[in-house]
Amino acid sequence: MEETLKPTDEEIALAVQAGDKEQFGLLMERYNQKLSRYGRKFLSDKDNIEDIVQDVFISSFQNINNFDVSLKFSSWIYRIAHNAFINGLKKKQRSFIPHFDFDLFLSHHIEEDPAIVERERKEMKKIIEIGLDKLKPKYREAIVLHYLEELSYKEISDILEIPIGTVGIRVMRGREELKKFYEAKNIYYE
């Protein structure tokens, strides 16, 4: 019995870097849905997410040599997507994520207990659709990446380029704000 192992994202990226350019199609397949979903939560359904995701793929292909294969490809491509969506937000001029944020200044003690994260993920996934757009973008993106895209604080730290402790704080505050919103609307989620 022969078991075929799927190549990892990083292996595919390495192949593209080595010249096997068409392999990039596999990466697009893998990230099409993820990035579109991330974009929708980030912006809103009305925005031209399809075009932005397409640009993200083109940009990541053209800059593939800038990817360090010893790191995670997901963090790298999400970083490109993050920048693209931020630009999308700026264009809308409704809201933006400021560079200056006091949460970045000091370290924050955070714990990422897998059991707690799993329980919270299940709980949040059920309710996250409602009220997400009420959150500040900086909390919204942390919540989306952590609970919907199931990324660790470390990965989110690489995507948003902020300290791991700040990721934890944003996730926690975003969750608290969501819960307050549900309580105010008498929505029960447990």
Positions touching other proteins (CB under 8 A) are 21-22, 24-25, 28-29, 32-33, 36-37, 40, 45, 49-50, 53-54, 57-58, 61-66, 104-107, 157-158, 161-166
**Nearest-approach distance from CB 70 to other proteins, in angstroms:** 12
Contacts 24+ apart (CB under 8 A), 94-100: 95/136, 95/137, 96/137, 97/137, 97/138, 97/141
Query: For other proteins, which is the closer residue by CB, 51 or 183?
Result: 51
**Nearest-approach distance from CB 120 to other proteins, in angstroms:** 21
* Angstrom distance (rounded) from CA 108 to CA 24: 38
**Nearest-approach distance from CB 86 to other proteins, in angstroms:** 15
Residue from 130, 128, 129, 138 nearest 95 by CA: 138
Query: For other proteins, which is the closer residue by CB, 163 or 174?
Result: 163
**Nearest-approach distance from CB 107 to other proteins, in angstroms:** 5
Query: For other proteins, which is the closer residue by CB, 161 or 183?
Result: 161
**Residue 101 structure tokens:** 């944020």
The answer to whether residues 164 and 108 touch, using CB atoms and an 8 Å cutoff, is no
Query: For other proteins, which is the closer residue by CB, 22 or 111?
Result: 22
103: helix, strand or coil: helix
**Nearest-approach distance from CB 180 to other proteins, in angstroms:** 27
| Terminal Cα distance for the chain, rounded | 45
Contacts of 61 (CB under 8 A, 6+ apart): 16, 21, 24
